[in-house]
Structure 1
Amino acid sequence: MTTENSFISPERQSLLEAYDRSDRSAVGFSMDYPDGLSSGMHCHPKAQLIYAVSGVMRIETTDAFFVLPPTKALFLPADEQHSILMEGAVAMRELLIEPTFAEKVATEARVFAVTPLLRELIVALCDEPVDWDESGRTPHIVALILSEIASAKTLFTKLPSPKEARLSRVANAILEVPSDPRSLEDWAETCGASGRTLARLFYKETGMTFGQWRLQARLNAAFIMLATDGDISKVAQKVGFSSQSAFGVAFKRTFGLTPAQARTLHLG
């Protein structure tokens, strides 16, 4: 693993590097982290399945942002630069998968729902040693995990990070203040471009309309607020929703959880 500003001790980093060097098709790595710790940008020579049995993670890659509750997992290809920020205490259960196996199930970063079966398979693999017995049950666990990943439906909770200077300015402002009500036409006056130009560039760079991108940014921000002790009605207002009911509908459509359920991930 290559890393900057790692939050883990040299002893634990050495342990993780042993998993990176493993010659097994996949290995599971368990570690618990306190609130607020961040990995800094780093990468692994193997593909990863990033998951937490409890707690919420905020993950950033070079071109996108993700929020991961315990109901979701993120697949990252080998050598994908990323950082992980713990939003509350997190019990991470991470899989490191040989690229030749990983490429059969996914070739790019994607989020998907973790079924009860996949959750138990992840936990089971994490209980196995890094040099697990190739003639035992573990190859079957790995095969089932890869099958579950391959058949899982991608959830469109990825928030692409626009690189064009004017779009980046708009995006950063929304990330800083999710409730910012300005339309693209409003932004056009401060960015030196027409609203039509900004709309075209936004879709070209992110694959999303401005409205879709802003909604996802608001919902991601709301999840963090809820998971770190937020009042639902106040959170809805803070991220720009005029009604709690509209917020609840959009939130559940995106994350598969109600705002109240998201809140209990931290408080319960």
Structure 2
Amino acid sequence: MTIPLIRPELLTAPDVPFLMAGELTQRASREVASHAHARGQLMGALSGLASVGVGRQQWVAPAIYAIWVPPYCEHSMRSHGPFSGWSVFIAEERCAGLPAQPRAIRTTPLLRAAVRRAASWTGALLDARQARIAEVIMDELAASKAESLNLPSPEDPRLMRITDALAADLSDSRRLEEWAEWAGLSPRTLSRRFVAETGLSFAQWRAQARLLRALELVAEGVSVTTIALELGYENVSAFIDMFRRATGTTPGRYAAAATSNQEPGCAASRARENP
């Protein structure tokens, strides 16, 4: 049974605050099936890493990042290892000034402190002090910038066949020309359609997929050697170099910082890979 961060009846009851928050830490991993609700939801990890599925896109939320899901947007969530995380639920009518599309954001210390305070509230109507804190959360979310912690999926069935195959085996190092032949289209068409449908070149998409999977495996405590092999890197050094370029730190330091909910280094950015 999945333990709710906030009692479900509070999310739909009349005369409840426009903003409610909850925190939860459990020894077991957490998995929430695909669902939607009228409130917008901002969710993040206190430590470790959570993955959020929105349609055919997959987002990851290391500690100090969060995923925003607008009202009525179907989504799922799972943690990698024991779960320690939080969520903020915002009434539909107050979401008009917030991002209209799902996004990953880098949380500020102010936002994290405000969410922690809001998570201690009982669900009663907000007093003046609580209302000010709730508005801080709203302001921080409205001012946030989107971070590249998602993996966009194409809609062309031929491209989907390639991305599904790669997702199943990220160690597959076939070149673009080989994938094009396998999927039954020309290399030029594959290259053009990939950029048009995902905003990334084929090489960038594969590098981003490898980075996001690396973040998941690091959060699960998998050894660096095992991760390098699973993702198709020639050696451990090549994997560590990629990880450092993308996150600003090594896998070991990243894992330690995520566990303690500290800044792990530079923001994880979209990785680059030579074709």
What is the TM-score of this pair, normalised by structure 1?
A: 0.87
Say yes or no: does 1:260 pair with 2:267: no
Helix, strand or coil at the partner of 2:212: helix
Partner of 1:128: 121
Q: 1:42 aligns with which of 35, 38, 41?
A: 35
| Structure 1 segments unaligned to the other structure (5+ residues) | 1-6
* Cα shift at 1:195: 1.3
Contact map agreement 2:153 2:198 (CA 8 A) in 1: yes
* Cα shift at 1:235: 1.6
Partner of 1:195: 187
- Structure 1 residues 56 and 13, CA, compared in 2 at 3 Å: closer, same or farther? closer
Partner of 2:105: 112
Partner of 2:199: 207
Read off the aligned partner of 2:104 and give its amino acid letter. Answer: V
Q: Which residues in structure 2 correspond to 1:53-64 (within 5 Å)? A: 53-64=46-57
Contact map agreement 1:19 1:29 (CA 8 A) in 2: no
| Aligned residue-pair number | 259
* Cα shift at 1:60: 0.8
How high is the sequence identity, in percent, across the aligned residues?
29
Say yes or no: does 1:8 pair with 2:2: yes
Q: Which residues in structure 2 correspond to 1:121-200 (within 5 Å)? A: 121-133=114-126, 135-200=127-192
| Structure 2 segments unaligned to the other structure (5+ residues) | 262-275
- Structure 1 residues 14 and 91, CA, compared in 2 at 3 Å: closer, same or farther? closer
Partner of 1:237: 229
Read off the aligned partner of 1:193 and give its amino acid letter. Answer: L
Read off the aligned partner of 2:137 and give its amino acid letter. Answer: I
* Cα shift at 1:161: 2.0
* Cα shift at 1:76: 0.7
What is the TM-score of this pair, normalised by structure 2?
A: 0.85
- Structure 1 residues 27 and 62, CA, compared in 2 at 3 Å: closer, same or farther? same
Say yes or no: does 1:219 pair with 2:200: no
Helix, strand or coil at the partner of 1:146: helix
Helix, strand or coil at the partner of 1:88: coil
- Structure 1 residues 109 and 67, CA, compared in 2 at 3 Å: closer, same or farther? same
Read off the aligned partner of 1:130 and give its amino acid letter. Answer: G
Say yes or no: does 1:86 pair with 2:79: yes
Contact map agreement 2:5 2:87 (CA 8 A) in 1: no
Question: Quick one: distance in 2 between partners of 1:163 and 1:201?
Answer: 10
Contact map agreement 1:47 1:77 (CA 8 A) in 2: yes
CA RMSD of aligned residues (A): 2.4
